[in-house]
Amino acid sequence: MSNQNNAGTTVLMTGNEAAARGALEAGVRFCTSYPGSPAVEVADVLFSAKDVYGEWSTNEIIAFEAAAAASYAGLRAITVMKHNGLAVAADFLLSLNHAALKSGLVVVIGDDPSGHSSVNELDSRQFVRFAEVPLLEPSTIEEAREMTRYAFELSEQVGTFVIVRLVTRICHARGNVVLREIPDFPAVKPSIGKEERFRCRPPLHVDVHVRQEKAREIYEHSPFNSYSGPQSETVIVSSGPSVLYAREALQILGLEDKVGLLKLGASWPVPREFVLKTAGHAENIIFIEDIDPFIEQNIITVLAQFGGKRYKFFGQGSGHVKGEWGAGMGEMNPDQAVQALCNVFDLPNPLKAPAVPTPDGVLKEELPVRELTMCPGCPHRSSFWAIKTALELDGRDGFPLGDIGCYAMGARKASNFLLRSVFCMGSGAGMANGFGQLQNMGFDQPVIATVGDSTFFHACLPALVNARYNNADFTLVVLDNSTTAMTGFQPHAGTATPGKDSKSIMMIEDVTRGMGLETVVCDPHQLDDTVENLCRLLKKKGANVLIMRKPCALMNYRLEQRLFEVDSEKCLGDDCGCSRFCSRVFACPAIFFDESIGKAYINDTLCTGCGACATLCPRGAIYEKSFSGTEGKN
């Protein structure tokens, strides 16, 4: 895809792929990222490009810092992270803005309105107002490419980094992109001049304002801002994919000739002259955007201060624009945009699900919701089983804390709400440091902090140093599936990495033992052994570590395709006394209980062949079968 000869062709790309393409078209040479949905693939694509140094950094602040170094050394650089990652990197973000940069530095953020794959739905645009740096908000996949390409140029013109805010409906949407050439950029020898200094000092705050003003002047003429439709008394102001929803809502309601649409792609710093020129004439201003009323508040400020008259504002603040969760929550969509316009114009909503359910049909009741759960064969299912069993055997009302990753599903219904907390990366281990100091005040419950292998390196090392130094009582359980599974199998410091010497692998047990913490490694599918070890560690004073190591079932399945089957002769069904262990208790979603014959069976369209059920079935009724259909050995 990095072939410059493809210039001019129209292809279908995701927003992530398009942003990566834009960076290549701009001659990016250095890319760092910590994987976070929805923006992971931007880095995935750039890492496979030639002439680009790419690394999965251990966390986002290091990724950002490393990319800034490349910029100072004269290379165009990009760093990619999700909204939570920007919060991790915030300390550097709010310092680096004080000093002028050299080569273009672009920060691509994946915001996740509605939190499809996130614990929250932070609006990263709040950070650009805080840091006073330029923001670009693509509305289409094509713009994701073009804005990312342009962002490097802008960064060099203004002298600070530029944030490109993608949202899930850009990152994970596909659309048509016209490729531009990837020129043969001359090789740059990175270097730092003898007199160059990079630092942040309070007096430099004035430079931050100066750069922001420079960006605003450029944004007054940005091609990413446009006005369409009539010069009417009502104008919609919108950004991101919401622009397309707003336009479709106008079509659906036949309001295209009555309402103008102001699209802001270069939205911060606010191009105030452009806004006054295009929307200043209007009486009614409607705001349609994702998550926070960011555009809404900025435009209200501009019009109130410089508009010279009174306007009526319709948006989240007025209550006219809101989703099913209320105003300022959840992602914008065409339904909400239509409803918002209906609210403003007092029109009936024409969008209806046609399907009039028959009164006695199955739709008379709400359809069962599909609870998220761990995949078939997931080692976390066994790990959670072991934790639950060990805490029951221990009998002191102990509890496990959660963290960020697939295993956060341990806090959901399908895991019986086992995990008691889920906040940010590393928070489980951090909070365990607090619970672990309450013993002198009568707190007598054992505490487990669960953490993934990638999260361990990202955010848990300071927590463990603290635990050792301050002697906190808890057990850290590392759910080590040997990859960053949630975001699509990215490597990390503890795994083999393509192109890297295997000597660079850092074993988690070496790290924790080096800190002086007792550490045990076990295979979670070996349940008896795992439970026994955990029970023993829970009784010990101080902090200790149990690593439950088993590669992710999906990753394993890609390597060795195996299938398992229930021997219906051996399976005793409800007569067994196992209480439908495989399907109901262990709850692997690939195992069903066939009520018609009263036996378990494995759905071969879902089974990943981990074999955990075969080890667990008390009757030994589950056996491996080969792909060609012939039976293998048990």
Partner 1 sequence: MKDFKEPFNIILAGVGGQGNIVASRLLGIAATMAGFKVAVGETYGASQRGGSVMSHIRLSKKNEFGPLIPTGCADILVCFEPLEALRVAAKYAHSETTAIVNANPIYPADMLMGVGGAYPPVEEMLAELEKMLGRVLTLDAADLARRAGSPKIVNMVMISALAATGYLPFARSFFDEALEEFLSKVPAESREVNRRAMELTIKL
* Dihedral over Cα of 16, 155, 34, 113: its sign: negative
Q: Which of residues 198 and 592 has its CB atom nearest to partner 1 in the complex?
A: 592
- Selected binder of partner 1 within 22, 293, 330, 334 (CB under 8 A): 334
196 binds partner 1 (CB under 8 A): no
> CA nearest 102: which of 158, 151, 50?
158
CB of 166 to partner 1, least distance (A): 13
109 binds partner 1 (CB under 8 A): no
Between CA 46 and CA 51, with CA 49 as vertex, the angle to 5 degrees is 110
Q: Which stretch binds partner 1 (CB under 8 A): 23-31, 275-283, 452-460, 583-591?
A: 583-591
Give me the count of residues in the chain. Answer: 634
169 binds partner 1 (CB under 8 A): yes
> CA nearest 574: which of 547, 538, 599?
599
589 binds partner 1 (CB under 8 A): yes
Q: What residue type is assigned to position 356 of the chain?
A: V
Q: d(Cα 205, Cα 200) in Å, to the nearest integer?
A: 9
Q: Which of residues 193 and 577 has its CB atom nearest to partner 1 in the complex?
A: 577
604 binds partner 1 (CB under 8 A): yes
CB of 382 to partner 1, least distance (A): 16
Residue 72: φ, ψ to 5°: -65, -30
554 binds partner 1 (CB under 8 A): yes
Q: CB of 565 within 8 A of CB of 632?
A: no
116 binds partner 1 (CB under 8 A): yes
3-state secondary structure (DSSP) of residue 498? coil
**DSSP code of residue 58:** S
> CA nearest 249: which of 312, 320, 143, 311?
320
Place of tokens 């800034």: 68
> CA nearest 239: which of 229, 225, 228?
225
36 binds partner 1 (CB under 8 A): no
- Selected binder of partner 1 within 5, 194, 201, 355 (CB under 8 A): 355
- Selected binder of partner 1 within 2, 6, 58, 117 (CB under 8 A): 117
Q: Which of residues 391 and 485 has its CB atom nearest to partner 1 in the complex?
A: 485
Q: Which stretch binds partner 1 (CB under 8 A): 68-76, 188-196, 259-267, 587-595?
A: 587-595
Q: Compute CA distances 434 → 439, 453, 472, 473, 478, whole Å.
A: 10, 22, 8, 9, 19
583 binds partner 1 (CB under 8 A): yes
Place of tokens 């309001």: 255
Q: Which stretch binds partner 1 (CB under 8 A): 274-282, 455-463, 509-517, 580-588?
A: 580-588
* Dihedral over Cα of 527, 532, 536, 538: its sign: positive
Contact string (CB under 8 A) for partner 1, positions 223-262, x = contact: ------------------x--xx-xx---x----------
Number of residues engaging partner 1 in binding (CB under 8 A): 64
CB of 349 to partner 1, least distance (A): 9
576 binds partner 1 (CB under 8 A): no
Q: Which of residues 90 and 606 has its CB atom nearest to partner 1 in the complex?
A: 606
Strand partners, 474: 543
277 binds partner 1 (CB under 8 A): no
CB of 630 to partner 1, least distance (A): 14
DSSP secondary structure of 231-293: --SEEEEE-TTHHHHHHHHHHHHT-TTTEEEEEESS-BS--HHHHHHHHTT-SEEEEE-SSS-
Q: What residue type is assigned to position 556 of the chain?
A: N
Strand partners, 80: 33, 108
Q: Which of residues 139 and 519 has its CB atom nearest to partner 1 in the complex?
A: 139
343 binds partner 1 (CB under 8 A): no
Q: End-to-end distance of the chain based on CA atoms, in angstroms?
A: 46
140 binds partner 1 (CB under 8 A): yes
DSSP secondary structure of 40-75: HHHHHHHHTSTT-EEEE-SSHHHHHHHHHHHHHTT-
- Selected binder of partner 1 within 22, 36, 38, 524 (CB under 8 A): 38
Q: Which of residues 319 and 350 has its CB atom nearest to partner 1 in the complex?
A: 350
Q: CB of 330 within 8 A of CB of 114?
A: yes
Q: Which stretch binds partner 1 (CB under 8 A): 25-33, 313-321, 495-503, 585-593?
A: 585-593
Cα atoms in the 13 Å half-sphere on the side-chain side of 329:
7
- Selected binder of partner 1 within 8, 354, 359, 395 (CB under 8 A): 354
- Selected binder of partner 1 within 414, 438, 461, 576 (CB under 8 A): 414
Binding region for partner 1 (CB under 8 A): 10-12, 37-38, 116-117, 140, 168-169, 172-176, 241, 244-245, 247-248, 252, 333-335, 338, 351-358, 361-363, 367-376, 406, 409, 413-414, 554, 583-585, 587, 589, 591-593, 603-606, 627
